[in-house]
Structure 1
Amino acid sequence: MLLCSIPNCNKFRVRRTACVLCQRCLCLEHLKPQFHTCPSYQIEEQEDAYFEGIRKAQLEEFDRLRSTLDFVALRERASSLKGGTNCSIPFETSDSPVHDMVGGMNYHFPILFEDGVTWICRVRRQSPPPELQDAIIESEVATMRFLASIGVPVPKVHDFSVHINQGSIGMPYILMDMVKGRPLDWNAASEAAKEYVLEQLADIFICLSQHPFPSIGCLYPSDDTSLKVGPLTFDDHVDQNSDGTLSLLGPFTDWQSYLRALIKRNLQFILDGKAYTDARVDAYLVHLTLRDSLPALATFCTHSDGEFFLKHMDDKGDHILIDDSFKIVSIIDWEWAQLVPKPDAFAAPLFLLDIGQYYDGNNQLSTHEILFAKILEDKGRRGLAHAVMHGRVHHRIAHCIGGDVDNLDDFPKLFSGLQEFILAETDWSIWKESALKKYRLDTGLQNLLLAL
């Protein structure tokens, strides 16, 4: 399941290192250059070979998808769901255009009905273990159906299938409406258009704030057609038990327990060689510091009152589809959505941040964050406005736990922004020297230092 792709290697794969060229996930040993020989875009003389490899790998990936899917069964299923209306799937033929199908995690290919209606079939691009893939699909469908039921604009889900009941089409999938809209390009929009988008987004925040849940986790369907809160489905939080089953985190009834579990898992990943292979000591020290900072960080989440709310978790702006008048027609890509405390759920979406200042460690709010808070305040939602105005700490936490510690160009400044909230040392070198002394008796740190 989560093992190295090399035959007969029983070591765990390193996370976030899946090679798009050879389609393998390798362990720490087999990532070494003598074993993994694919070209890298980071090496100038290998750049052309890398991008040619990307093109070739994508074509091979399409061929594998075509050979796996039973298009006849899929057409019959879609047609039956739409009252017998005939349909076609352009991707079925090898000369169909495919560049618009590819997302970061999924393929989306259209199903065209004779009456002019178009649906989308969504299938996983980089498949995690079947058990996890099923949980991701079930949670995403439950989330989208919940959102539709409360009036949040999302594509209508017509059907889905998981490994347990995938029938004859060959793989799990989701069938949903194709929404006519384009991804929001925040930077290209006029100030008037931005304010209009924020007015609509404020109404969506208000709607979500009216539907609390009792714990932190992901939404799943329950046996009685209602919803239940279950474990987190985000790939980076998943581990494997000794018996081969997956270990999913959650649900949780309080914020500290949630963060503590994430930190503990990342610490274990580092010790097991599953993460941060180029910065294991730095990453370990960061997560030890985060663990010991939880009591101080908890003061920024004192207004959750045991209620938790749905958050998109990947709100960079392109998840919002708009029409030509900047009306929000749909919000998409809910597969990472989860329930979190109110101060986290209603912090400003990431696309409102001044990214340059944010990555420099500056915690000052952007003008659009302040505008969004004002819009919420004007709508009589002071609590939501407060969450936006005081949401920076939640952005910092999200980017530091399991963050890109091995990116030493950006991460030290990101981390300094979080340290500022707890009045800790913000200079990376001084902090690291102090942390090495503070945790010198930690067995895990000692082992990592010996392995250098």
Structure 2
Amino acid sequence: MPSDKRPPIFLYAKFDVQALCRTASSLRQDIACTCNPDQHPASGSFNWAVFLTFEDGVQWVLRSPHTNGAELSMELSSKLLESEAATMKYVQQNSDIPVPTVHLYRANAENEIGIPFILMSKASGWPLEKAWKNPESDKPVLAASLKAKVLRQLGETTYKLSQLRFSRIGSLFERDGLVPVEECLSRGHILHDRYSLEGVARGPFISEEHYIEPTCKHAEVLQLSHHCFTAPIPSREDYESHDQYLEACDLWNDFVTVGKKLDSSDNRLDYIVAAHALRELIPAWRSQLPNTDSHLFPLCHADLSVNNIYVDDDFNITCIIDWAFSTTVPEALLLTPPGLPQSRYELDKSLRLAFQDGFETAIIGDTCDQRTESIKAALELVKEGRCSWLLTRFLNFDSIDDHGLFTALWEHTYGHSKDIGSYFAERRSSPSYIELYNDVRLEDQPLEKLKKAESNYFRDDWGCQYTPFHQQRLRKTGELFVTDSKLWKWILEFKKDWGNIS
């Protein structure tokens, strides 16, 4: 009796496997290929993938966007797929950066296979994530010399990307044999529901001024998720043990639950003030940098994490994958070391220097580039790349410590000439921000609803740890009370001592 169970390959979408194999075979002089229906698709945040094998051993990848319960709409996913394919083809045709070869792509499901897809070569080597551990991982630490080797190569890759320049900021598309820059599909313009924002320019842009607008608008109307400006999420690196880290996370959850701080008007206004401050901070920072060609914008990979970097057994980079969200950017935002193992982790000084060394080596080896002044400016930008890294993380909401990022940006730009606490107090007490605050307070939950939510959350022994909610707020004037690991450690130590006394 035939089984009604669907093969694992159709976990995320039903498609015509036979049509896929026919299509792939036709693209390789009719060499036969198979696609095992019992394989479980690889899956990431936005796409899933399956593998095809030709009879001569060559493997290709079919990648398609998630559709069921996906964060992105089908329309947006199609645009991202189309742009990613065009970007990989352009990079391969105009540089020696190792990327997957795109054999065919379709941006919608109106095709023989029945789904939108990119059909491309399988990346050679293996993903760097297998060797480069996260701070929370139990994997052995990768040798510093091998990390430095990878960073030097990424510095060379960044130089090569800096030579792929366009007259506008935005995403690449393929149009009748040309590769124009169109709508900007960067993470900062798309994710966290920012694509739904009305009244936000989408590009392409001829300057960097509009780059921060999605962050400003996000602060005003969208959910802030886990982001609390004055209460950074605990980081594993700050705690001696994993258990202590988990206890600190519990304390953080308790803290932001009281008064529903995440989407409160106070938290929202903090982000609005910070986002608006960038309108002054970014030009002040740029004025301290060397002059570059402000009319040409280099191509930038959006996520150079260990998941997307493939290496061989000698840690030579063999392929860079996942070019979704890649756009052209202001040069200063490209010429910065990536965060590794993931974008939120800042590199130490030795690895930043390795990146700089690789960038300089690439310049020396490129005899075609004779723009002496541009070279000097680019080298200076690479050395000053930390501020670009901080800014990118903040604009993309790619952090568990937005206050720390903003403070570092502020101090890097202004030093001790402007006090950040005084700035926030002044802004929050100004008539325009008081009016804005009163508007956003209309979205705060009623007191009775807050009390009920807190009562449901704090049950049993935890109830005695917190005083009941009351209407008077901590932030009466605008001063910044920032929680950090010191506070959570102090509370944990106090609880321990109290337990010993009891």
TM-score tier, shorter chain, comes to: 0.7 to 0.9
Decide whether the 8 Å contact of 2:152 with 2:354 is kept in 1: no
Instruction: Give the counterpart of 1:367 among 337, 342, 350.
Output: 350
* SS of equivalent residue, structure 2 residue 324: coil
Deviations 1:381-409 (A, max 9, x none): 5443322221222222222235268x5xx
Please report how far the alpha carbon of residue 417 of structure 1 lies from its aligned counterpart in structure 2 after TM superposition: 1.4
Change (3 A) 1:414 1:195: closer
Aligned residue runs from structure 1 range 128-143, under 5 A:
128-143=72-87
Give the structure 2 partner of residue 285 of structure 1: 270
2:443 is the alignment partner of 1:451? yes
Partner of 1:319: 308
Unaligned runs of 5+ in 1: 1-58, 359-363
Q: Is the CA contact (8 Å cut-off) linking 1:250 and 1:258 kept in structure 2?
A: no
2:208 pairs with 1:255: yes
What secondary structure, in the 3-state scheme, does the structure 1 residue paired with 2:56 have? coil
Q: For structure 1, which segment, 210-219 or 276-285, has the greater mean C-alpha deviation from structure 2 after superposition? A: 276-285
1:159 is aligned, of 104, 117, 134, to 104
Name the structure, 1 or 2, with higher relative contact order (CA <8 Å, separation 6+).
2
Q: Distance in 2 between matches of 1:334 and 1:144?
A: 7
Q: Answer yes or no: is the 8 Å Cα contact 1:287–1:401 preserved in 2.
A: no
- Note the 1:180-329 alignment, pairs <5 A: 180-184=124-128, 185-186=131-132, 188-223=141-176, 225-233=177-185, 234=187, 235-236=190-191, 237-239=194-196, 249-259=202-212, 261-270=213-222, 278-281=262-265, 282-301=267-286, 303-305=291-293, 306-329=295-318
- The separation in 1 between residues aligned to 2:380 and 2:132, in whole angstroms, is 23
Q: Is the 8 Å Cα contact of residues 285 and 413 (structure 2) preserved in structure 1?
A: no
| Secondary structure at the counterpart of residue 368 of structure 1 | helix
Which of 176, 185, 188 is the equivalent residue of 2:120? 176
Report if aligned partners of 1:239, 1:248 keep a CA contact under 8 Å in 2: no
Q: Deviations over 1:224-281 (max 9, x none)?
A: x121111122432412669xxxx7711111112322x3234324533xx686793353
Partner of 1:411: 402
In the alignment, the residues of structure 2 paired with residue 299 and residue 274 of structure 1 have an alpha-carbon distance, to the nearest angstrom, of 27
Change (3 A) 1:74 1:268: farther
Matched pairs, number: 368
What is the letter of the counterpart of residue 153 of structure 1?
P
Q: Which moved more, 1:327-336 or 1:103-112?
A: 103-112
Distance (Å, rounded) in 1 between the aligned partners of 2:61 and 2:310? 15
* 1:145 corresponds to which of 82, 89, 98: 89
Q: 1:82 to 1:375 in 2, by over 3 A?
A: closer
Percentage of identical aligned residues: 24
TM-score under structure 2 length normalisation? 0.66
Q: Residues 135-174 of structure 1, C-alpha deviation per residue, up to 9 Å, x if partnerless?
A: 10111011100110121100100011112x6313221000
Give the Cα–Cα distance (whole angstroms) in 1 for the partners of residues 311 and 144 of structure 2. 16
Deviation readout 1:106-160 (Å, 9 max, x if unpaired): 1111011112111000011254323212210111011100110121100100011
Mapped partners of 1:354, 1:146: distance in 2: 24
CA distance in 1, matches of 2:86, 2:441: 45
Letter in 2 for 1:75: C
The amino acid of 1:74's aligned partner reads L
TM-score by length of 1: 0.72
Q: Identify if the C-alpha distance between structure 1 residues 124 and 248 changes in structure 2 by more than 3 Å, giving closer, same or farther.
A: farther
Q: Residue 344 of structure 1: CA displacement?
A: 0.9
Partner of 1:401: 395
Larger radius of gyration: 2
Post-superposition shift, 1:216? Answer: 0.9
| 1:175 alignment partner AA | L
In structure 2, the gaps of 5 or more residues are 1-5, 134-140, 228-259, 365-374, 445-502
Asked whether the 8 Å contact 2:219–2:271 carries over to 1, the reply is: no
